[in-house]
Amino acid sequence: MNEFVVKDSLTNVAQDSSALVVGEYAGVINNAFRCEELNQALSRVPDLLQAPDAELIAGGRNQNVRLMLPFQGGRLAVMVKSFGKQKRWKDYVDIRYRKTKAQRSFEAALHLKTNKVGTPAPVAFLERRCGNRLEESYFISLFEEQVTSFHDQIISTLNGEPTCGELAPMLARVAELCRAMHDAGFIHHDLGNQNILLPQGEESDSGCAQIIDLNRGRIFPELSMRQRAQDLSRLNLPSEIMQMFLDIYWGKPAPELLRTWHRRYVSLFRLRANTRRLRHPIREARLARERDIHPEVNAFPAPRDIWIWDDRSDQAFSALERKERVRLYPRGRSWCMLKSTAAAAWSVRKHYLSSKARAFSAPVNLKSRIGIALDPDGPSQGIEVGLLNKLGAAPALLRFCHHEGQQRWHEQAGLVKHLAAAGREVNIALVQDRRALQEPDAWREFVHEVLELTHEYIAAVEFGHAINRVKWGIWDFEELKNLYAPLVELRQRYPAVNITGPATIDFEYPFLLAAMQQWPQQVPVAAISHHLYVDRRGAPENPQSRFNAVDKFALAAAIASYLKVPDDKVVVSEVNWPISGASIYSPVTSPFEYRLAKPGEVPDSGVEEFSYSDYMLRYIVLALCSGLVDRVFWWRLVARGYGLVDKNDDGELRERPAFLALQHFLLTLGDSTFVQACLPEQRDQRHGLYQFEFERPDGEHLLLCWSHGPAIAAPALEAARIEDALGNSLVAIPKELSGSPLYFRDVTGLS
């Protein structure tokens, strides 16, 4: 006989069921499955459960068994849940007050199906009683083929260096299932990862999640926020992913009330779990012995070892909330930073005052000081190289990421060779992941393989990436020492390649000082490389803890001087601003869509495209003309959430205003020399006129001007013409300057 599964075409199944009496058993059957063949088979359930073709899915006191039952000339795959015999008082309570587990399961499944909530279709429930004792109890539902539990799937995913692109859709399926279940008034009371089924195989992209093990649930007219939070508290997810899950569940930023109740119930559940050995010592001792004999292969990775790649914004994603990250920091981490900072403080302070004093005081030639980072996939390499060529001879920076694999490394190496052959200076950056720290031999092989492929064609290699952010895999300074282990051999094997580091990110210079304590002394640092963002939601002149961009540049230069780096060289190897409206592609927003959010309900942390363009020019000018930063590499050429060029879902490219502005800047000032600057007083918000004089190789003198803060009157200058940031000529001198830089060309009368 043929096997088949009845399709779910049940509309009002809660009302479309009827009493069933077969042999010694009584219960209720879903009328969609009423069939004499099936009825006869159900009368022999105990015998069928012992038959050779019965497949035990889950053992224990309550067993789940897969059976093939006759149905309408074919065979029907069903799951039979057999509830074990319970104590007399529980029988009394179930029969008198709350119904049996089998009946509750059946009615809950009918309720969920009626409300279009995913669960295996209920077939029937059967019971055999002897007086007030429940002797046998069965719940029968359709058996779901090609499914796996959320428990197994999330563990498998987290153990394999997942991407947000594969993690977010899985979370969305589960979150939307839980929301639909709660909106239907059903509270599960045992909503663990193991009680949620996900499709796999051919159905994995289109199938829906399903909820199982319903016997503890209850139906209410409506669930309160507290009930929802309590039900969700048993889901086991890393803390930051759980917060992301709550947002997906709610469809927009989850209300604080839901989060508050959730945190409270998670704490209570954790306390209950941690005291289980005290409450059930004999059972827990037995389970511990069983685990020692048969250790669980499929287990969550340790919190520190969870590493997720956000393939939309091209960065690592933090799976843990800040509070948990801090709790997991090794004890010596803060002490190392404190010790290094205390040892360097007096000397760095003197160098800092000196750096501040020399800022903008000497001419600076801008040639080859503005670099562009690019990271194209194979098919778009030619297109991105064409865009890069439109920016002139700017140096290029390419990342080699350990997690991307050998094929990608060779692909990037080919691009390095191509760019170098075209006469362009190329720099590379080596980016670690958590596995690089877990498997130091693999990291060493990666380093040498990449350098073997590229050393003849590159000017410098940046070693490591954002090492002060644990989401990038490094938790303590001992691990950092392991990351740096290949440096000595690298220096010996490729002496012509400059090595830069330590590639920290943001304004966390105590970590930079401590990191350099781990750097091998026999390996000279060609430059302090740093990913120096200032205010990713505002202007570079804005202060952070009283330090604006120029102050931070001066402090970085002071540290370089303290570390005796040649020429106090500092390289900003990554900087950008996030673009507003970029959604999941932005580096500062959530990697998922808020499906129920209305316009304005989700905070947008980016800046609009013209502000991005203005901030870019201002940052570059402040960094390079100060003489405190040797180079700035813009991250990056093409990226939907933050790039100079946008790339839509269809792969179509659009040059943003920032691309055109940088193109004009490089054409106009790329080979020029900064002469002098007129700046506002360096206090408070540094509001006022910013005026920079440049001399081009052809002898033309020009000014680049903008105002920070309130608009101010334009300076009275005699200029041949005035151009805006994109190179468009203005018909008249504007009455006021704004934050958008203006070029005053061929200015006369400058001192």
Mean pLDDT by 10 residues, the chain (751 residues): 37 65 89 89 89 85 89 90 80 74 93 94 90 86 93 93 92 96 96 94 71 94 97 96 96 95 93 79 76 71 95 94 94 93 96 96 97 92 95 97 96 97 97 95 96 97 96 94 95 95 94 96 95 87 88 96 96 96 91 86 88 97 98 97 93 95 98 95 79 96 94 84 95 89 88 60
**Counting Cβ atoms within 10 Å, is residue 1 exposed (0-12), middle (13-18) or buried (19+)?**
exposed
**Counting Cβ atoms within 10 Å, is residue 228 exposed (0-12), middle (13-18) or buried (19+)?**
buried
pLDDT at 751: 60
Nearest Cα residue to 751 out of 707, 717, 723: 717
What H or E segment, with its residue span, contains residue 412? helix 406-421
CA distance 36 to 38: 5
CA distance 523 to 493: 12
At how many degrees (to 10) do helices 509-518 and 331-358 cross?
Answer: 110
* Residue 227 vs residues 183, 232, 649, 713: alpha-carbon distances, Å: 11, 9, 39, 60
Nearest Cα residue to 680 out of 512, 501, 541: 541
pLDDT at 367: 97
Please count the other Cβ atoms lying within 10 Å of the Cβ belonging to residue 504: 27
What torsion, rounded to 10 degrees, do the Cα atoms 84, 88, 92, 94 define? -20
pLDDT at 73: 82
* Residue 695 vs residues 144, 197, 365: alpha-carbon distances, Å: 74, 68, 9
Q: Specify the DSSP class assigned to residue 304.
A: G
- Residue 1 near residue 75 (C-beta atoms within 8 A): yes
Q: Specify the DSSP class assigned to residue 547.
A: B
Pair of tokens at residue 23: 């042999």
Please count the other Cβ atoms lying within 10 Å of the Cβ belonging to residue 688: 16
Q: Specify the DSSP class assigned to residue 599.
A: T
Amino acid letter, residue 727: G
Radius of gyration for the chain, computed over Cα atoms and rounded to the nearest angstrom? 33
CA distance 695 to 675: 7
Judging by DSSP bridges, how do beta strands 570-572 and 527-531 pair with one another?
parallel
Pair of tokens at residue 340: 């290094």
Nearest Cα residue to 704 out of 715, 696, 693: 693
Q: Specify the DSSP class assigned to residue 542.
A: S
